[in-house]
Chain A
């Protein structure tokens, strides 16, 4: 019982770590493309 609980907790930690890492990658990539890219779209011209 204790082993199963420890194994389950270990799995949860692994999942959480990957989620955090995935979010870090996504946010970093979003900021990178917004900063490094230079397209102009209708966002900058409301109403036109």
Chain B
């Protein structure tokens, strides 16, 4: 959920920039959007819809996560010319690497879970999936590529508590960059250069 804040921040920043520059928003035309829809469906079942997320076995959830992230990498590759898409793809690739290296779910260290949810003792076990999230609780010593795990925590003064990875940081930066780009500096489409654009979103 915290990554949706990056999208919201990017949108607000872009709207403010477009307003300041008095330029119309120029959203890009993304290719193969269906890949993202196809990728999100299994994750929705495995991690977001509580009814199915609670009953899905570990291996099924892990397989769905890996399959889904491979599709997202394909989408990033198809749109690699768009601003921010390289960062988005790099973030997914880093997350996918550590997920595959650790059996199909994102590792998180017990001490990180304790700091992140101090009142949740007894609701999780080392070596098992953390609630119905994408994470598995693993000691740092038993984690492959530990520097790519969910090891960072939001500052205590923020009302939201979350643990995130290096890949998540790249994804947040990529989302912000893509949205920032729609408010200006895009080269005009030569095919449309002769048309006078009168309408603006702002």
A41 and B69 form a contact (CB under 8 A): no
CB distance from A34 to the nearest CB of B (A): 7
Residue contact A14 to B68, C-beta cutoff 8 Å: no
For residue A16, which residue of chain B has the nearest CB? B199
Chain B: CB-nearest residue to A46: B131
Q: How far is the CA of A9 from the CA of B160 in the complex (A)?
A: 46
Q: Which among B40, B150, B163, B182 is the interface contact of A22 at CB below 8 angstroms?
A: B182
- Do A36 and B69 touch across chains, with their CB atoms under 8 A apart? yes
Candidates B28, B91, B179, B199; contact of A14 at CB < 8 Å: B199
Smallest CB-CB separation from B72: which chain A residue? Answer: A36
A residues near B (Cβ < 8 Å) are: 7, 10-12, 14-15, 18-19, 21-22, 24-26, 28-45, 48
* Contact among B162, B171, B175, B199 with A40 in the assembled complex (CB-CB below 8 Å): B162
Q: Known: A31-B37, A34-B40, A37-B95. Is A44-B131 also a contact (CB below 8 A)?
A: yes
Contacts of B91 in A (CB 8 A): 36-37
Contact residues of A: prevailing secondary structure:
helix
The reply to whether B201 and A19 form a contact with Cβ atoms under 8 Å apart is yes
- Evaluate contact between B150 and A24: CB separation under 8 angstroms: no
The 5 lowest CB-CB distance pairs between A and B, nearest first, are A48-B120, A41-B162, A39-B164, A36-B92, A33-B3
User: Does B197 touch A at the CB level, under 8 Å?
Assistant: yes
Contacts A18-B199, A29-B178 known; list 7 others, CB within 8 Å.
A24-B30, A24-B33, A36-B72, A39-B164, A42-B117, A45-B117, A45-B120
B19 within 8 A of A: no
Structural contact, A37 and B119, CB atoms closer than 8 A: no
CB–CB B135/A37 < 8 A: no
The answer on a CB contact under 8 Å between A33 and B6 is yes
| Chain A, residue nearest B84 (CB) | A29
Q: Smallest CB-CB separation from B161: which chain A residue? A: A42
Q: Is B108 an interface residue (CB 8 A)?
A: yes
The answer to whether A48 and B119 have CB atoms under 8 Å apart is yes
